[in-house]
Amino acid sequence: MLPELTPEDLHARLQRGDDLQLIDVRQPEEYEYCRIEGSYLIPLGELASRVEEIDPDRPTVLICHHGVRSMQALAYLQHRHEMTNLLNLRGGIHAWSTRVDPSVAVY
């Protein structure tokens, strides 16, 4: 089982001021349309060439539309780069929009 957290858990951690790195692995046009404030875009297709942009010492939450691409990113980073600081946002930004922050557009 790959590690994940719910939108509510992420919201609570952000409210507490936890030092989280939010990596969005969607496409640029998806990211432009809606995103979680403070997230950083690294599209899934660019992850292998941009892995050094992820801080291995900070808890990192991977985000996509529904949680599938971010789970793929998490598995890749765990297995190929031995990162242990990763969490997948269960349900992706769609769940974030519907359960935590309705000001974030749904698509």
pLDDT band at 2 (very low <50, low <70, confident <90, very high): confident
- Spatial separation of the C-alpha atoms in residues 49 and 10, rounded to whole Å: 27
pLDDT tens for each residue of 20-79: 999 999 999 999 999 999 999 999 999 999 999 999 999 999 999 999 999 999 999 999
In sequence order, what DSSP letters do the residues of 34-58 get, joined into one string?
---TT-EE--GGGHHHHGGGS-TTS
Say what the pLDDT of residue 46 is.
98
CATH number for the domain harbouring residue 18: 3.40.250.10
In a domain, 64, yes or no: yes
In a domain, 85, yes or no: yes
In a domain, 42, yes or no: yes
Q: In the annotation, is 64 catalytic?
A: yes
In a domain, 106, yes or no: no
Q: Print the domain residue range for 39.
A: 4-100
In a domain, 43, yes or no: yes
Counting the structural domains of the chain, the total is 1
- Exposed, middle or buried: residue 17 (CB in 10 Å: 0-12, 13-18, 19+)? exposed
Q: Is 6's pLDDT higher than 80? A: yes
Of the residues 10, 64, 87, 100, which is catalytic?
A: 64
* More confident of the two residues 67 and 1: 67
In a domain, 105, yes or no: no
